[in-house]
Amino acid sequence: MGKYRDALLKPRHSYLVEFVNAEKQFVADVKLGNLDYISENGKTNSQASIKVVKGDENKKEEKGKSVILVDFQFNITG
pLDDT at 78 over 60: no
pLDDT band at 75 (very low <50, low <70, confident <90, very high): low
pLDDT band at 8 (very low <50, low <70, confident <90, very high): confident
Question: Domain limits of the chain?
Answer: 13-70
Q: State pLDDT tens for residues 14-67.
A: 999 999 999 999 999 999 999 999 998 889 999 998 999 999 999 999 999 999
Contact assessment for residue 77 and residue 28, using Cβ atoms and an 8 Å cutoff = no
- Which pLDDT value is given to residue 7? 74
Q: pTM for this one?
A: 0.78
- Which pLDDT value is given to residue 72? 83
The total of other beta-carbon atoms located within 10 Å of residue 78's CB is 6
Q: Exposure of 32 by Cβ count < 10 A (0-12 exposed, 13-18 middle, 19+ buried)?
A: middle
